[in-house]
Amino acid sequence: MLQHALIQRLDAQDRAWYLRLVLAESAPALTLSFWKMLTHVGGVTASILIAFIPLGFAEDAYKIAAVQAAWTLGISHLIVQVIKRNVVRVRPTERVHLIAHVRLPDRFSFPSGHSAAAMSVAFIHAFTFHSLAWPMLGIATIVGFSRVRVGAHYPGDVVIGQLIAIATGVLVLRLW
């Protein structure tokens, strides 16, 4: 019973944060365009491209980073999909009846796959490209935030997606 009450409180808090952060339907077109463009950085095409960029332009450790990023991306995506299909948390648009400003890839909200994808690639590349570490991690964090802004996810979905990515990255780096 205590666990159920805790989950309900966390869910209510998550919904309250979502309602504060999501863009209104009447948001300016430029604002919508910015957040929509940013959210696609966590999509499958962009994530794969960014993961593999070092393969074409770098040598040695940088090529290894591309392979590690691809492994982290793949494993974290698998973990996210297994959790999504077992938790079955519906998207915020179904619960609070606001529109999503982007096409939703599936019905399930928890955890955020886009957030996990962006953080997976950024986390691994941050270990190799030290001078770009903070900007990459910052962009990955903002990509996660964009998923809330465009109405696709609750903030908790984003945080857990990013934590899955980081944990997967740590595992890949340790096993490498």
144 neighbors 166 (Cβ within 8 angstroms):
no
Residue 151: left (phi > 0), alpha (psi -120 to 50), or beta? left
Average pLDDT score over residue span 52-65: 78
> Which tens digit of pLDDT belongs to each residue from 65-76?
889 999 999 999
Q: pTM, whole model, 2 decimals?
A: 0.90
CA distances from 32 to 23, 117, 141 (A): 8, 22, 18
Tell me the HSE value of 65 on the side-chain side, using a 13 A CA sphere.
Answer: 22
pLDDT, position 1: 45
158 neighbors 117 (Cβ within 8 angstroms):
no
pLDDT, position 30: 94
**What is the distance between the alpha carbons of residues 159 and 141, in angstroms, rounded to a whole number?**
9
> Which tens digit of pLDDT belongs to each residue from 101-114?
899 988 899 999 99
